[in-house]
Amino acid sequence: MARPKRKPSSVQQRAQAPATRPAREAAAVASSAQSTSETAASQSRENTQTPVKTNEAVGSAKTVQRERPKGHQPLPATRSRRRYVQRRSWVSNPWVIIGGSVAILLIIIGVFVYLANRPIVATIGPTDSVVLRQVTSVKPQVLSDVGGGTVQSNEISPVQPTKPLLKGPNGKPQFFYYGAEYCPICAGQRWAVVVALSHFGTFSQLPETASSGSDSNPNTATFTFKGSKYTSDTIDFVPVEAEYRDQQTLQNPTADQQTLLQQYKVTGFPFIDIADQFTISGGLVDSSVLQNMSQRDIASKLSDSNSDVAKNIVGAANYMTAAICAVTNNQPASACTQDPIPTLEHSFAPAAAFAVPGQTPVIASIPQAVAFRRRDDVVGA
């Protein structure tokens, strides 16, 4: 007779429990994997059965997107539309427009500031021996070829030939120059003055400077007669530079010089009086042709009679030389008899009596040919 089975003891149940639990967990994992596999297979069948119309025009990016299963990226058309909306939103933002306008304005202001403060090509300093040699020894052939240059003979007219010669501190006919360092017209005029005076004497010192950087034709390379040294056996050179480059007072005219300026109603720069027989009010040299050049650049062009620089500077210098010869009794002959001086001298007034013994030289006035810089007429100074 079979013996009935005993129920396992509590100890045996506890021993068997660990073996039963892993089995249940393994069965659960297997069931989950099978479910996932069935789901993936179902989605694959749906994708295969879903028709995609590639031949038709895409009516709407949203329709195509709805037909796609979840997890797919938006179509390129949708991304492009979103970028378009973003760009449209950016352009229509008023703050962006205002900011862009302000940026453009700042750039424009910056350009003007740069131009006003750009490096100066001209030299500001002591005498340059190379420039001094070139400007004081223009070749006779160049003087002859240039002739009157850009100065016209009808710009010169005689006035009141009755005054005695105005003499300087050493008893010689006086060449009086009145200008200012800031003045761009004076900058061009000084070149002609130096070329002309070099026929009658010698410059040993000729400091270099430039016109104002905030005036017309800014930073024109030139010289300053303040601190210059000139000797001559024929004439007395009396220069006055009234103002610095920043228009502060530099030199004051003497009482006699003030009287002379008032006599000719001088209110600006430059002004030249040659023995009170010839006056030049304003500039005979167009300073614009000297722009963006250094003193050496300008001096080197004085040897080329076809250059605009030579036509302006040498042409004006020839007329000044002719005027000086008229008050020095055509001395020295080396300066007053070479071409084109005799011709220019007689062009002032065909019937005038020039400086010969017993006669009073003619007074001629050389009117402004280019411009006249009034003391109160300064651009941006």
3-state secondary structure the chain: CCCCCCCCCHHHHHHHHHHHHHHHHHHHHHHHHHHHHHHHHHHHHHHHHCCCCCCCCCCCHHHHHHHCCCCCCCCHHHHHHHHHHHHHHHHCCHHHHHHHHHHHHHHHHHHHHHHHCCCCCCCCECCCHHHHHHHCCCCHHHHHHHCCCCCCHHHCEECCCCCCCCECCCCCEEEEEEECCCCHHHHHHHHHHHHHHCCCEEEEECCEEECCCCCCCCCCEEECCCCCEEEECCCEEEEEECECCCCCECCCCCHHHHHHHHHCCCCEECEEEECCCEEEECCCCCHHHHCCCCHHHHHHHCCCCCCHHHHHHHHHHHHHHHHHHHHCCCCCHHHHCCCCHHHHHHHCCCCCCCCCCCCCCCCEEECCCCCCEECCCCCCC
Place of tokens 């149940």: 13
Lowest average pLDDT, out of 22-36, 56-70, 342-356, goes to 56-70
Please determine, for residue 3, whether its predicted confidence score (pLDDT) is greater than 70: no
The pLDDT score that the predictor gives to residue 95 is 74
Whether the Cβ atoms of residue 225 and residue 215 lie closer than 8 Å to each other: no
Confidence of residue 255 (pLDDT cuts 50, 70, 90): very high
φ/ψ of 187, rounded to 5, equals -60, -45
pLDDT digits (tens, 9 = 90+) for 304-342: 999 999 999 999 999 999 999 999 999 999 999 999 999
Identify which has the larger pLDDT, 190 or 7: 190
pLDDT digits (tens, 9 = 90+) for 172-206: 999 999 999 999 999 999 999 999 999 999 999 99
The pLDDT score that the predictor gives to residue 374 is 47
Please determine, for residue 229, whether its predicted confidence score (pLDDT) is greater than 60: yes
Confidence of residue 282 (pLDDT cuts 50, 70, 90): confident
pLDDT digits (tens, 9 = 90+) for 54-86: 444 444 444 444 555 555 555 555 555 555 555
Lowest average pLDDT, out of 5-14, 228-237, 306-315, 323-332, goes to 5-14
Please determine, for residue 7, whether its predicted confidence score (pLDDT) is greater than 60: no
The pLDDT score that the predictor gives to residue 125 is 94
Identify which has the larger pLDDT, 203 or 381: 203
Picking from 155, 153, 154, the residue whose alpha carbon sits closest to that of residue 283 is 155
Please determine, for residue 364, whether its predicted confidence score (pLDDT) is greater than 50: no
pLDDT average, residue stretch 270-285 = 92
The pLDDT score that the predictor gives to residue 97 is 74
The pLDDT score that the predictor gives to residue 348 is 79
The pLDDT score that the predictor gives to residue 62 is 45
Mean confidence (pLDDT) of the chain? 77
The pLDDT score that the predictor gives to residue 68 is 52
Whether the Cβ atoms of residue 43 and residue 69 lie closer than 8 Å to each other: yes
Q: How many CB atoms lie within 10 A of CB 248?
A: 9
Please determine, for residue 140, whether its predicted confidence score (pLDDT) is greater than 80: yes
φ/ψ of 350, rounded to 5, equals -55, -35
Taking CA atoms, 280 is separated from 37, 81, 333, 354, in Å, by: 109, 75, 24, 18
Please determine, for residue 377, whether its predicted confidence score (pLDDT) is greater than 90: no
Tokens at residue 197, please? Answer: 């005076």
Taking CA atoms, 264 is separated from 154, 158, 173, 268, 349, in Å, by: 20, 15, 18, 11, 21
φ/ψ of 309, rounded to 5, equals -60, -50
Whether the Cβ atoms of residue 286 and residue 150 lie closer than 8 Å to each other: yes
Please determine, for residue 156, whether its predicted confidence score (pLDDT) is greater than 90: no
The pLDDT score that the predictor gives to residue 81 is 56
The pLDDT score that the predictor gives to residue 338 is 95
Taking CA atoms, 139 is separated from 142, 261, 300, in Å, by: 5, 35, 12
pLDDT average, residue stretch 249-278 = 95
Please determine, for residue 231, whether its predicted confidence score (pLDDT) is greater than 50: yes
Residue 305 C-beta-side C-alpha neighbours within 13 Å: 13
pTM value?
A: 0.65
Cα–Cα distance, 39 to 28 (Å, whole number): 17
